[in-house]
Amino acid sequence: MIISQKLREGLRHITEREVLWNCSLAPYTSFGIGGPAEALIEVESIAELQRLICFVSEHDLPWRFIGRGSNLLVGDDGFGGVVFLFGKNMSGVKLLERSMTGGIRVRVSAGCSLARLLNWCVEHDCEGLEFAAGIPGSVGGAALMNAGAFGEDMSGIIEAMEVVSFANGVEELPRQQLDFDYRCWSNQGLGKAKRIVTSVDLILRRGEKTVIRKRCSDNTAKRKKNQPKIEKNAGSFFKNPPDDSAGRLIEASGLKGMRCGGAMVSLIHANFIVNTGTATAKDVCRLMKMVTKKVEKDSGIRLFPEVHFL
Ligand SMILES: Cc1cc2nc3c(=O)[nH]c(=O)nc-3n(C[C@H](O)[C@H](O)[C@H](O)COP(=O)(O)OP(=O)(O)OC[C@H]3O[C@@H](n4cnc5c(N)ncnc54)[C@H](O)[C@@H]3O)c2cc1C
């Protein structure tokens, strides 16, 4: 136990909601794997988040912020410390501006799901986010991961972000101060300067409702064809190496269907590691190492995980 009784009392006092103690994180992830968080708190406002970040930082308590857990592998022993995530009040979408030239600026709270935002976009005739149709996860997680598909990603539509950290409080970061790379946002910071994304401003375009809807359903259909349908997973497990695809390399090494305990390289898409029902984080990590080793031996290319670890 990392959080003493006294600190538990302190945490209880500064949150508006119940603190969940020793709460299994498996249901909070798309992998369905992972042990408990010592404390789990759903945060409903930026002021509450600031109070909590101050508390954990001042008491040197380990903490982590998660979104919808769709890119996350939680260890079997769980997390000794406090895990935060956004609640319902942190999922709003607000139209900021419709320009005469067709540009549309939208502010989205980081807890909003990409699916909900896409529905909003269809209703409001906004195009530009269709590449994300079918990507699970929150807008904050998508910004942090620079999530993308079909040759587009979040960095192409993000105009600004609001972030919170213990060291710098609330900051508005304009596009020029945001460095995105392949599946990552590079300015998150470390330690007491580590930033949590609270909202994202997107620049979209005026479009035709039926066209936007069709693009979304086409993209979702393409995914359904190429991705595991039943088994739980965290999307593409490895990052694609430059000018190649991790899936192609893993398949070329003959690893589709390779298993380690309850974890398996998907038979449908080789870059998906799936939980066949009983996988532990240990199984997934062992399989990850086996795949990395064999691919490197066969191709000379080292794969790095896209999935984040807790
Ligand atoms: C079936 C499936 C298909 C997928 N397809 C794609 C795809 O096509 N393209 C793609 O890019 N991804 C894909 N993913 C991966 C995943 O959906 C995305 O990376 C998504 O954007 C992660 O969002 P999340 O809210 O689930 O983040 P989480 O998994 O909860 O977190 C990911 C990381 O972001 C951090 N984080 C989350 N929210 C915040 C925040 N507000 N502030 C600071 N840090 C934060 C977490 O600490 C963690 O390090 C897929 C996943 C699945 C399961």
Ligand 1 atom at minimal distance to the Cα of residue 70 = 26
Is 308 close to ligand 1, i.e. is its CB under 6 Å away?
yes
pLDDT of the residue at 219: 96
pLDDT of the residue at 1: 83
Is 69 close to ligand 1, i.e. is its CB under 6 Å away?
yes
Q: With helix as H, strand as E and coil as C, how does the chain read?
A: CCCCHHHHHHHHHHCCCCCEEEEECHHHCCCCCCCEEEEEEEECCHHHHHHHHHHHHHCCCCEEECCCCCCEECCCCCEEEEEEEECHHHCCEEEEEECCCCEEEEEEECCCEHHHHHHHHHHCCEECCHHHCCCCCEHHHHHHHCCEECCEEHHHCEEEEEEEECCCEEEEEEHHHCCEECCEECCCCCHHHCCEEEEEEEEEEECCHHHHHHHHHHHHHHHHHHCCCCCEECCCCECCCCCCCHHHHHHHCCCCCCEECCEEECCCCCCCEEECCCCCHHHHHHHHHHHHHHHHHHHCCCCCECCEEC
Pocket test for ligand 1, best of 116, 145, 199 (most atoms within 8 A of CB): 145
Residues lower than pLDDT 50 in the chain: none
pLDDT of the residue at 100: 85
Domains of the chain: 5-89 (3.30.43.10), 91-226 (3.30.465.10), 232-305 (3.90.78.10)
Active site residues: 183, 236, 306
Is 305 close to ligand 1, i.e. is its CB under 6 Å away?
no
Is 71 close to ligand 1, i.e. is its CB under 6 Å away?
yes
Pocket test for ligand 1, best of 66, 129, 198, 269 (most atoms within 8 A of CB): 66
